[in-house]
Amino acid sequence: MRAWTRVLVLGVSFCALPVLASAQSLTPLSERVQAALDEMRVGEAVELSEGLGDSALDLSVRSRVHFYQGHYAQAVEAMEASLEAEPEHPRDRRPGELALFRSTLQATANFVHVESEDGRYRISHAPGPDRHLVDYALRVLRQVDQSLTEELGIRLQGPIRLEIVPSADTLAALSTLEVEDVARTGTIALCKWDKLMVTSPRALLRGYPWMDTISHEFVHLVVAHLTHDRTPVWLQEGLAKFLERRWREPRAQLHLTPSSRGILSNALENDSLLAFDRIHPSIALLPSQEQAALAFAQVSTFVARYYEVYGRDTLRAALLEIADGQDAREAMATQAARRFAELESEWRRSLEHTEDAPPLLQRELRRGQASEMEPIPEALSEEARRRVRLGDLLWGRQRHGAAAHQYALALEEAPGDPALASRLARAAVAGDQAQLARDTLIPISERHPDHASTWALLSRAYDLAGDVDDARVAARRALSLNPFDPMPHCVLGNRAEAEQERAEERGRCSELSRR
Amino acid sequence: MLVFAFGVAAIVFLAACAQVGSVGSPLASIVTLAFVLVPFILAMHRYRKTRSESEGSRAALLLRPADERLSFSFRSALELADRPSGNPEMRRAHASRVLREMDAAETPPMGRVRKSLLLGGGFLLLVVAGAFFFGETLRGGAYALTHPSARDEGGAHLAAFVTGVEAELIYPAYLQRPSETIAHSEVIEAPRGTRVRWSFSTREPVDALELLFGESPIRLQQDGERYVADFLLREDGVLTLSGKDEEERLVREARRWSFTAFADPAPTVGIAYEGEAIVEAFAQLSFGFSAQDNDAIRSLSLVLTSPEGEVRRPIAPPPVAMVDDSLPWEGAARLELERLSLRPDDEVTVWLEAEDGNDVDGPGIGQSDRITLTIASERTRRAARIAGLAALLDATLDRLADRIELPLPEEDEPAAARHRTLNERERTLLSQIDEVANLEQRRRAILTTLHRELKRAVDRDSAMYPRGENANRARRDEEVREVLERLTIRLDDLLTTSELEDSAAIARELETLRRELVSLLESLASERSDEAEAQLRAAIERTRTRMRQLLERMASMREEHPSEFLNPAQTERAEQSEEALDALSRAMEEGNIEEALRSAHQLGQELDALARSLQSAEQQAQGSRFGPRERAMADAMEVLLALENEQRRLAGRTERVRREAATRALEAVGGAQTMDDGLRSALDAAESALESMDSRSLGPMDREALSSASQRLGDARAALEAGDLGEGRTMLETARGDVEQLARELELSAMMFGGRDGKVRESAEAARRGADQLRGASGRLDRMLPRLADHMQRDARQQLSEDHDRQGEVGDRADGLAEQFEASPDEAPLSPEAAQGVREALAEMRAAESALGEQRAIDAAEAQQRAAERLTELREDLEASQNDSQSGGEGGERGGESQEGDRVTIPANDARDDELRMRLLESMGGRAPAGYEDATRRYFEELLR
């Protein structure tokens, strides 16, 4: 470039600066606040919102800021005032928002609020048994916070808000999801409006990995802040799934359950992999739990491979480019010095075929009263059902040995079924047959690592056999899936390393056993 | 010495008390104190002096006469103690040796002196204490001296001027206790109603005496030197006394007399009942009793409450010669339930109530524990069967568990020992199966089969002991286990469905009760009466009891079979039904009939929904748990219903041919014929049946129908008497049609609601009798006509020929149905009784077939009608028997309860039930296509049910 040309460019630039500056100041404040909210610059939005006036627009924006802060009553009040100042008009999103704000206010009206000592983590939950989750959740939040700072190089300003909702209905009331979406895809947590929303594991028949789910949502929150909410859903979910267990492991690595591996392998074989864009706008809107599992498996394996091949720094750099407005595919490709199509085909080639994968354990919402017995799958053979029925009848009369015999025969009919294996192990544990319980449960725990009662019973079986270390590990695993089962608490009440933990767990053991 | 000093001082104080007046003064107290202190100080001085003499060197002198060496040692020890010198250890050793020796030495003279003083002082103190105890005057003086300026809040001087207080207690007459006198007591307790004569005298003259019991003044009378107050003790209180002394000072007695009036305790009553908690409505019960009171028991009654209200049965007292109030009144009371108009499933609470003769507070009533009895009903029988099944299931599971948990040893002796243990238990189980099979009529065949199977397996297993190869033993062992498993599953099926059936049956019973409630409410709305209100209250009570039973059954099922067939929505419905019933009850209490009707309507909706839901759960359970037998029965019922419809249609066709032919025959005859005796007596019987109907139990439309039918019958009789067979026949047919219609309507109404004392049912039966008689009369009239076959047209003959073949086909199908009922889907015939019933109908069908072949329209029509009626009867019997079995029992109940077992199938669509029913009722009024009247009627009846 010639010298005069450079001078010209510089001159034009200098002239343009004041114009740009005045354009910034001329932008209405409400729009700036809204933009800050949209880009997850919530702190900035809060500061700016102090200057908002009483116009309908200002009131609606202020209402949103309140909502992002968790001040639901003020949010409702401001939105009502806005609608009063200017009646709704076609394509007005305020009435819908007001409905959401109101249902959130109503659903959380009696919530209990707990804050960590430093005020960084705020947990809200329904009164009652969910209080048992709080200590564990605080611990998880702290560890996730630290691990994500290491992985993604960003520490959020805080406070980090977590709402533990008692049921899928409440989750639907707090979000734009329908209960059917929740039941269909097994979506039980969300990260939106600068908060984490997680369903209590007691709302599900078999519990679920609720601690990893908190971590999963936390990843979403961090990525949303880091990239100003510009990361597409497929990448968000890939990162969240890939990093969700980082908090309890020394390095980030992929974990897919055998059933997810099987689903991915089948899709690969049948050429029915999902296009990444199909995941938009949410995994919760996919047609089934299998499709949701496939989507998670695809995007997490993609991110895991990218991370392993090109490194953490490359991934971070790609995220920063996304934050600057770069397209996610382009950013990832640019940073990896590949075309995205190449990345995708390399990923496809890296996928492995899996044989003999177990079926996906569906997440079932609990309806009605809690039952001691896990329902048996409908697909069981007539003979297996008959044996289970006999076993259940014998168990009900405390004939544990005979019940175990019947369950064992049922399990022969349906090998690897976790519900049957749990029944057998429970009867074996009750009959002091720890070895039988362990032999039954260990293979199940490998095939269905998220089956809560398998881990609870395994902890008891290890405990009975005097294998204290394994008992502790299994009990903690069980708690990470269903902390409302008294058994792992009772095991830790006796076997935890620290006296304080033993005392706490003994308290929970006795309290939950009474229920 | 100290005691002596006190004794002397006390004597001086005693003297002062005797001298001083009732009201104290500071001066008198000071003087007295001075008089008491002087001798006391003197005595103390003497004591101290004596004591000081015992110290120091003089003490040694006192010891010298007894032990000179010891006196020296004592002295040296005292001196060393005063002026320490030398080795302290040595000093202590010396002192302790001296003390030991002094202990061992003869008692020194000082000890004797001390003993004398102690005795003297003690004696004086005893004298003074005795004087105070017995002398009220002294106590009064003491009070005055020790309280020199005591005054009450009103400024009166407190003084102890009353003496010689006595309280004579005259107990209430009903207690039959002698009066007693209590003296020197300031706390008196007596039964309420006791008359108290309280008397006293004063230490010195006191004027203007005023006696208060609490706040109430009591009149005092003077009796010599004593004052007497006479009052009735009704409540707790305190007596206070005041007056004026000689110096006109207001004085109040320092003491207060507290009276406690306790209530006479009620009699204690015990009841003993050794019978079952579920009793038949006609049972005679015996209750042992024991009643006792501190006085006489005036009456003892056996009290019983039921939904109908409370009944009291006095128990005759024992002969006077045997009465001894100190002993309990014991005996046995009989109760005949039959006299109490109880209904099945009513809850009856029985207790004893005894009254004493307390005429002060009113009779004291003692009650025994309450015994709750339930009148046996289909529900209790169902519950008993369910309990029997549950116990049998438990026992079977235990036997199965035994077989599994006790592995078969290889060695002979341990194997034989195991066999002995198991065999004995399994034979007990076989007896239990027998017992339950006897209770379970419908399931007897199943249970008997299972019993046979188990017995065979157990016998074969027994044959392996003591000799038998191990492999064979293991095989037999496995066989028994398999049979036990099958038995377990079957029993669990039976139990689950029995419980569901029970819930659904209770819901249906509730619906029946609700209809009764609505009917009673409507009667009450038109005319209020105590009797109607009492009936309504009883109905509400019954409904409430059933509701509770339903909730209990559902709760028990939820515990046993969580979420298998029951769901939270059903529980919610049941709770909402309960709320609606509460609202109804409240509205009744407030006298708001309209609101009560609204609540009854709401209750109906909830119950309908609940019954539907439970019925669906029951069907689901049946479907998932039941097999060949139930399905075979359902198939057979379907065939039976189709057969019945076809037979009715054929009968209708032949009947039309008969009528047309008869009309033409009449036209041909064209003249007068006289009525024969048979026809006359049939008409008489029909009239008598119609007259026996109680028109008050009928609705307005039914009354009108009855009146119209009676009128037509009268017209028919008049025409026949006049020899006008044509007119007579027309009138007779019209009357017959009206009465048939009326009978159907009333039968339907009775099915819904039997009416008060079953009146609607009785009317329905009478109408049916009337209709049968008229049909007979009609046939008789036809026979009076010339040969009908001669008056039949060609197409009519053609029809009879065609129907001959059809009737043959229907007969063949009936034959097949009989075989279906005789078949054994699970080793026991489906229903031999039903097969017999079908064969009876078949015989009529064959007769009709033959008559049709010979163109005998009258005989054919009658035989066809009889065949159709037999099939209807059979179907209804089977349905009732199924419902009885499903709702757990057989046998009907009294009056309006006789429909308890009938299944009421609730239409399972989304339309509002009442609206649907209204539309159905309206549709029933419409005309059905010719030949389909009966089918249409049954269709509507089925829908309404």
pLDDT tens-place string over residues B110-166: 555 567 767 777 787 788 788 777 776 777 778 877 887 777 878 888 888 888 899
Indicate the residue of B404, B562, B563 with minimum beta-carbon distance to A405: B404
Which residues are within 8 A (CB) of B293 and not within 5 positions of it... i.e. 6 or more apart? B265, B266, B267, B268, B325, B354, B356, B364, B366
How far apart CA B858 and CA A254 sit, in angstroms, is: 92
Q: Residue B917 pLDDT > 60, yes or no? A: no
User: Does the distance separating the beta carbons of A405 and B398 come in below 8 Å?
Assistant: no
Task: Map residue A361 onto helix, strand or coil.
Answer: coil
Task: Map residue A372 onto helix, strand or coil.
Answer: coil
Handedness of CA B82, B86, B89, B91 (dihedral sign): negative
Closest listed residue to residue A261, CA positions, set A235, A234, A300: A300
Which pLDDT band holds residue B312 (cuts at 50, 70, 90)?
A: confident
Half-sphere exposure of B221 (CA within 13 A, CB side): 7
**Chain centroid offset of residue B559 CA:** 24
Which pLDDT band holds residue B750 (cuts at 50, 70, 90)?
A: low
What value, to the nearest 5°, has the Cα angle with vertex B616 and ends B612 and B621?
150
User: Does the distance separating the beta carbons of B404 and A401 come in below 8 Å?
Assistant: yes
Residues belonging to chain B with any Cβ–Cβ distance to chain A shorter than 8 Å: 393-394, 397-398, 400-401, 404-405, 485, 488-489, 492, 558, 562-563, 567-568
Predicted pLDDT of residue A18:
40
User: Does the distance separating the beta carbons of B558 and A369 come in below 8 Å?
Assistant: yes
Cα(first)–Cα(last) distance of chain A, in Å? 80
What number of C-beta contacts closer than 8 Å exist between A and B?
47
The chain A residue lying nearest B489, using CA atoms, is: A390
Contact A246, A151 (CB under 8 A): yes
Contact A375, A419 (CB under 8 A): yes
Contact B186, B255 (CB under 8 A): yes
Predicted pLDDT of residue B36:
77
- The region of weakest confidence among A17-31, B363-377, B580-594, B897-911 is B897-911
Which residues are within 8 A (CB) of A320 and not within 5 positions of it... i.e. 6 or more apart? A226, A227
Q: Is A398 on the interface with B (CB under 8 A)?
A: no
Torsion of CA B356, B359, B362, B367, to 10 degrees: 0
Counting beta carbons within 10 angstroms of the beta carbon of residue B703, is it exposed (0 to 12), middle (13 to 18) or buried (19 or more)? Answer: middle
User: Does the distance separating the beta carbons of B567 and A369 come in below 8 Å?
Assistant: no
Tokens found for residue A110: 């009696």
Q: Is A16 on the interface with B (CB under 8 A)?
A: no
- Overall size of chain A counted in residues: 515
Range(s) within chain A of domains with CATH label 1.25.40.10: 8-107, 382-513
Second CATH level (architecture) for the domain A8-107 = Alpha Horseshoe (1.25)
Which pLDDT band holds residue B936 (cuts at 50, 70, 90)?
A: low
Contact A458, A476 (CB under 8 A): no
Q: Is A386 on the interface with B (CB under 8 A)?
A: yes
Contact B478, B522 (CB under 8 A): no
From A377's Cα to the closest Cα of chain B, the distance in A is 14
User: Does the distance separating the beta carbons of A399 and B488 come in below 8 Å?
Assistant: no
How far apart CA B124 and CA B118 sit, in angstroms, is: 10
Q: Residue B285 pLDDT > 50, yes or no? A: yes
- Residue B201 vs residues B24, B169, B195, B217, B711: alpha-carbon distances, Å: 19, 18, 20, 18, 101
Which pLDDT band holds residue B751 (cuts at 50, 70, 90)?
A: low
Predicted pLDDT of residue A10:
40
Closest listed residue to residue A380, CA positions, set A416, A428, A356, A344: A416
Contacts of B398 in chain A (CB under 8 A): 397, 399
Q: Residue B899 pLDDT > 70, yes or no? A: no
Counting beta carbons within 10 angstroms of the beta carbon of residue B207, is it exposed (0 to 12), middle (13 to 18) or buried (19 or more)? Answer: exposed
Cα(first)–Cα(last) distance of chain B, in Å? 110
| Statement: A112-350 belongs to CATH 1.10.390.10 | yes
The CATH code of domain A382-513 reads 1.25.40.10
Q: Is A368 on the interface with B (CB under 8 A)?
A: yes
From A148's Cα to the closest Cα of chain B, the distance in A is 43
ipTM field: 0.77
Q: Is A390 on the interface with B (CB under 8 A)?
A: yes
* pLDDT tens per residue, range B339-381: 887 888 888 899 999 988 888 888 889 999 999 999 988 888 8
At residue A30, what are phi and psi to the nearest 5 degrees?
-60, -35
**DSSP single-letter state for residue B329:** E
Predicted pLDDT of residue A14:
39
Question: Helices (DSSP H) in A88-209: which residue ranges?
Answer: 94-107, 131-152, 168-173, 179-185
Q: Residue B559 pLDDT > 80, yes or no? A: no
Per-range mean pLDDT, top range of B95-104, B106-115, B380-389, B840-849: B840-849
Indicate the residue of B393, B400, B568 with minimum beta-carbon distance to A402: B400
- More confident position, B681 or A236: A236
Q: Is A366 on the interface with B (CB under 8 A)?
A: no
Q: Is A432 on the interface with B (CB under 8 A)?
A: no
CB atoms within 10 A of CB A142: 16
Strand partners, B170: B195
What value, to the nearest 5°, has the Cα angle with vertex A336 and ends A335 and A338?
115
Contact B210, B176 (CB under 8 A): no
Which residues are within 8 A (CB) of B467 and not within 5 positions of it... i.e. 6 or more apart? none
How far apart CA B930 and CA B936 sit, in angstroms, is: 10
From B511's Cα to the closest Cα of chain A, the distance in A is 27
Indicate the residue of B404, B489, B568 with minimum beta-carbon distance to A386: B489
**DSSP single-letter state for residue A338:** S
CB atoms within 10 A of CB B288: 14
The chain B residue lying nearest A402, using CA atoms, is: B401
Q: Residue B9 pLDDT > 80, yes or no? A: no
Predicted pLDDT of residue B755:
52
Indicate the residue of B397, B404, B563 with minimum beta-carbon distance to A397: B397
**Chain centroid offset of residue B561 CA:** 27
How far apart CA B469 and CA B474 sit, in angstroms, is: 9
Mean pLDDT, rounded, of chain B = 79
Regions of chain A where pLDDT drops below 50: 1-26, 369-370
* pLDDT tens per residue, range B841-854: 999 999 999 999 88
At residue A192, what are phi and psi to the nearest 5 degrees?
-160, 155
**Chain centroid offset of residue B267 CA:** 24
User: Does the distance separating the beta carbons of B400 and A390 come in below 8 Å?
Assistant: yes
- Segments of A357-420 assigned E as strands: none
Mean pLDDT within B783-800: 79
Contacts of A367 in chain B (CB under 8 A): 563, 568
Best B394, B398, B399, B404 member to test A by mutation, with max A CBs in 10 Å, is B404
Closest listed residue to residue B338, CA positions, set B411, B289, B284: B284
Predicted pLDDT of residue B628:
65
Indicate the residue of B397, B562, B563 with minimum beta-carbon distance to A399: B397
Q: Residue B787 pLDDT > 90, yes or no? A: no
Which pLDDT band holds residue B55 (cuts at 50, 70, 90)?
A: low
Indicate the residue of A368, A369, A402 with minimum beta-carbon distance to B401: A402
How far apart CA B651 and CA B858 sit, in angstroms, is: 11
CB atoms within 10 A of CB A479: 29
User: Does the distance separating the beta carbons of B562 and A369 come in below 8 Å?
Assistant: yes
* pLDDT tens per residue, range B609-661: 777 777 777 666 666 555 567 667 767 877 888 888 889 889 988 988 888 88
* pLDDT tens per residue, range B154-210: 888 888 888 889 999 999 888 888 899 998 888 999 999 999 999 998 888 888 889
User: Does the distance separating the beta carbons of A367 and B404 come in below 8 Å?
Assistant: no
Contact B848, B867 (CB under 8 A): yes
How far apart CA A369 and CA B718 sit, in angstroms, is: 74
Predicted pLDDT of residue B113:
57
Tokens found for residue A468: 């204290």
User: Does the distance separating the beta carbons of A367 and B405 come in below 8 Å?
Assistant: no
Predicted pLDDT of residue B882:
59
Task: Map residue A398 onto helix, strand or coil.
Answer: coil
